[in-house]
Amino acid sequence: MVVRCYTRTMIRMTQPRVVIAEGAVHLPSWMPVEAQQKALHEIRALADGEAGFYTPILRNGARMRVRMLCCGRHWDAKTYRYDLLRTDVDGLPAPPIPEVLRQLACEAAESAGFSLEPDVLLVNWYGAEGRMGLHQDKDERPEIIASGVPIVSLSIGDAAIFEFGGARRKDPVQRIRLESGDAFVFGGSSRLNHHGIASIVAGTGPREFGVAGRYNLTFRQY
């Protein structure tokens, strides 16, 4: 079922917008504090649910340096495919994407000039030593990728040094500091650009959130 986004209640309509590459937009401070707190509430409820965070183990046996939790569909770290069940973890069904979070993703996509109907959400939790190597998001359906439907990424908690490169792994990367409340959207001709997290800047998140580390939410259309 395709659910479209209709409301635009929580987000300010005039925001800074930094174009990093064609189709790649950094929206600093995009989420007001109240929206971040609502999102955190949803993340904590998911974390406390039956199908909470786990450490993905890749097909080469390496443990990822993040903890993950998938909604809508589960990303299987062994097969690099999406499944309705957490096949490589515990066999439980992936929980649905909370509506509050789905709305945020639609609104962030719109703010960057795109349209998104998210049916997958990957929540990553990074501790102080967390990181993610350069990679492409290319496990979604080929026609979705080809049409340039964007990935929407939202950050909450500690800042992170995000690397954004090009379609080829050896292309030069730009380093962008993503702060709590930032959105980063990449679609169109940037949809398959390499990206990753070089490091976390520990202790930089808003104190009042009581978050250790950083949450990152990436929304995708499968």
Q: CB-wise, 1 or 161, nearer to ligand AKG? A: 161
Q: How far apart are CA 139 and CA 52, in angstroms?
A: 22
Q: Verify binding: residue 197, ligand AKG, rule CB under 6 A.
A: yes
Contacts of 61 (CB under 8 A, 6+ apart): none
Q: Report d(CA 45, CA 109) in Å as an integer.
A: 24
Binding of ligand AKG at residue 193 (CB under 6 A)?
no
Give the one residue of 122, 159, 173, 185 binding ligand AKG; rule: CB under 6 A.
Answer: 122
The label of the residue with tokens 């097909």 reads: 59
CB of 130 to ligand AKG, least distance (A): 9
For position 137 contacting ligand AKG by CB under 6 A, the verdict is yes
d(CA 26, CA 21): 10
Answer for which of 36, 103, 124, 180 binds ligand AKG (CB under 6 A) is 124
* Touching ligand AKG, residues 153-192 (CB under 6 A): 153, 160, 162
Which are the contacts of 159, defined by CB distance < 8 A and separation ≥ 6? 177, 178, 179, 180, 200, 201, 204, 205, 214
Contact residue for ligand AKG among 106, 216, 219, 221 (CB under 6 A): 216
Beta bridge partners of 42: none
Contact 111, 28 (CB under 8 A): no
Question: Is 36 among the residues that bind ligand AKG (CB under 6 A)?
Answer: no
> Closest distance between ligand AKG and the C-beta of residue 90, in Å?
20
Binding stretches for ligand AKG (CB under 6 A): 122, 124, 132, 137, 153, 160, 162, 195, 197, 216, 218
